[in-house]
């Protein structure tokens, strides 16, 4: 399996309303019955805040079919992506048949009291997009109850994150990749960071690290590149992040998803222009 990464500079897509409502109902009931929240007051308050978050409305009628270019290995890989609501397929659902995937935005409180997100570096042995930064995640499988199940299962397979440690609190508007892969960002909270003992799958992941979520709202250590897709110009954002021993470049879909997640968590827009394309809806 290949991690979901850079290649997606997507824009969010929206889950069908019925699916989203089913997911939110099942996740909240499972959290209340099976998950006992611990951790700091900040994390408990954040969990409560995010449970009330509702992504923008989206088209309900979506058929799904496989996209071998991005899904054949079970992971998401694409250089371009946009919020589904910004693309022509959102207005023409009868022609939109994406394969579904989910990524886990796993948040925890750092030693300095800041919110941090768990990220991975793809294995250097992979034939495509090797060594790039990604969120844990992959395509949905038959046994998954919802997008939260998909994201947690993939995180377990990639980095050994026990699903029982993660409290799923909401999902964001889906992102649509260049090749029409629908990627649902799932926000989960890790209340006990010390209980997470990473076990990396060497076939997929070379390293796991964490970064401050708020950095994706700041115009610092950031570059951008203008590109064009379907006749519309847009910006790809690149974030440089340095740890004690390694420098990481976070861009594409991963950066796009984290910009959106940070905006929702901190309730403010980024300090830079995102510039998603404004598509013209083609005549049927």
Helix extents (H) in the chain: 17-34, 41-51, 68-71, 88-91, 147-159, 252-266
Q: Is the pLDDT of residue 72 over 50?
A: no
Q: Is the pLDDT of residue 16 over 70?
A: no
**According to the model, what pLDDT value does residue 284 have?**
34
**According to the model, what pLDDT value does residue 99 have?**
83
Which residues does 72 contact at the CB level (< 8 Å), separation at least 6? Answer: 66
Structure tokens at 63: 């058929």
70 or 203, which is more confident? Answer: 203
Secondary structure percentages of the chain, helix, strand, coil, to 5: 30, 30, 40
pLDDT, mean of residues 195-201: 98
130 backbone dihedrals φ, ψ, rounded to 5°: -70, 145
Residue 177: pLDDT band (50, 70, 90) is: confident
Q: How far is CA 202 from CA 2, 101, 152, in A?
A: 11, 22, 18
Query: What whole-number distance in Å separates Cα of residue 74 and Cα of residue 68?
Result: 9
pLDDT, mean of residues 5-34: 40
CATH of domain 96-266: 3.90.79.10
Q: Is the pLDDT of residue 166 over 50?
A: yes
Query: What whole-number distance in Å separates Cα of residue 106 and Cα of residue 34?
Result: 18
Residue 5: pLDDT band (50, 70, 90) is: very low
Instruction: List the chain domain ranges.
Output: 96-266
Residue with tokens 């992102």: 175
Instruction: Please answer whether residues 187 and 172 qualify as being in contact, where contact means their C-beta atoms are separated by less than 8 angstroms.
Output: yes
**According to the model, what pLDDT value does residue 84 have?**
54
Please tell me the pTM assigned to this model: 0.78
Residue 115: pLDDT band (50, 70, 90) is: very high
**According to the model, what pLDDT value does residue 23 have?**
42
Residue with tokens 């260049």: 178
């Amino acid at each position: 399996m290949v991690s979901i990464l850079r290649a997606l500079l997507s824009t969010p897509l929206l889950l069908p309303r019925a699916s989203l409502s089913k997911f939110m109902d099942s996740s909240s009931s499972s959290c209340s019955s099976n998950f006992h929240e611990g951790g700091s007051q900040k994390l408990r308050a954040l969990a409560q805040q995010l449970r009330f978050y509702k992504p923008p409305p989206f088209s309900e009628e979506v058929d799904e079919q496989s996209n071998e270019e991005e899904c054949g290995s079970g992971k998401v890989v694409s250089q371009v992506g946009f919020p589904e609501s910004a693309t022509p397929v959102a207005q023409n659902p009868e022609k939109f048949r994406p394969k579904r995937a989910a990524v886990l935005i796993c948040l925890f409180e750092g030693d300095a009291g800041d919110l941090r997100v768990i990220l991975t570096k793809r294995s250097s042995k992979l034939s495509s997009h090797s060594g790039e930064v990604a969120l844990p995640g992959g395509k949905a499988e038959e046994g998954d109850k919802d997008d939260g199940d998909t994201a947690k299962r993939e995180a377990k397979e990639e980095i050994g994150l026990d699903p029982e440690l993660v409290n799923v609190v909401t999902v964001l508007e889906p992102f649509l990749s260049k090749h029409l892969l629908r990627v649902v960002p799932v926000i989960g909270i890790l209340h006990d960071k010390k209980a997470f003992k990473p076990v990396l799958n060497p076939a997929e992941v070379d390293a796991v690290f964490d970064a401050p979520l708020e950095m994706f709202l700041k115009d610092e250590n950031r570059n951008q590149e203008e590109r064009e897709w379907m006749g519309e110009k847009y910006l790809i954002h690149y974030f440089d992040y340095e740890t004690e021993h390694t420098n990481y470049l976070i861009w594409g879909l991963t950066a796009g998803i984290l910009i959106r997640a940070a905006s929702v968590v901190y309730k403010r827009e980024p300090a830079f222009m995102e510039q998603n394309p404004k598509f013209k809806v083609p005549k049927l």
